Amino acid sequence: MGRVAFVLIAGIAVGSALGLVLKRNPIHAALFLVVNLGSVAVLYLTLGAQFLAVAQVAVYAGAIMVLFLFAIFVLIPGKEETGPDPRRAYRIMALPVGALLLLLLGFVVAVGTRGGAPAPAAPDGVEAIARLLFTDYLLPFEVTSVLLLAAMVGVLLLARRRTD
81 is a contact residue toward another protein (CB under 8 A): yes
Rounded distance between C-alpha atoms, residue 60 and residue 47, angstroms: 18
Out of 17, 35, 54, 57, which residue is the one contacting another protein (CB under 8 A)? 17
Contact (Cβ atoms closer than 8 angstroms) between residue 128 and residue 50:
no
66 is a contact residue toward another protein (CB under 8 A): no
Out of 84, 87, 89, 139, which residue is the one contacting another protein (CB under 8 A)? 87
Per CB under 8 A, contacts with another protein among 130-149 are: 131-133, 136-137, 140-141, 144, 147-148
Rounded distance between C-alpha atoms, residue 139 and residue 123, angstroms: 22
Maximum alpha-carbon separation in the chain: 66
Listed residue (88, 80, 68) closest to 28, CA to CA: 68
3-state helix, strand, coil in the chain (%, to 5): 75, 0, 25
Out of 73, 89, 95, 142, which residue is the one contacting another protein (CB under 8 A)? 95
98 is a contact residue toward another protein (CB under 8 A): yes
89 is a contact residue toward another protein (CB under 8 A): no
Residue nearer to another protein on the CB measure, 14 or 164: 14
Per CB under 8 A, contacts with another protein among 19-58 are: 20-21, 26, 29-30, 33, 36-37, 40, 43-44, 46-49, 51-52, 55-56
DSSP 111-136: HHTSS-PPPPPP--SHHHHHHHHTTT
Out of 73, 84, 89, 121, which residue is the one contacting another protein (CB under 8 A)? 121
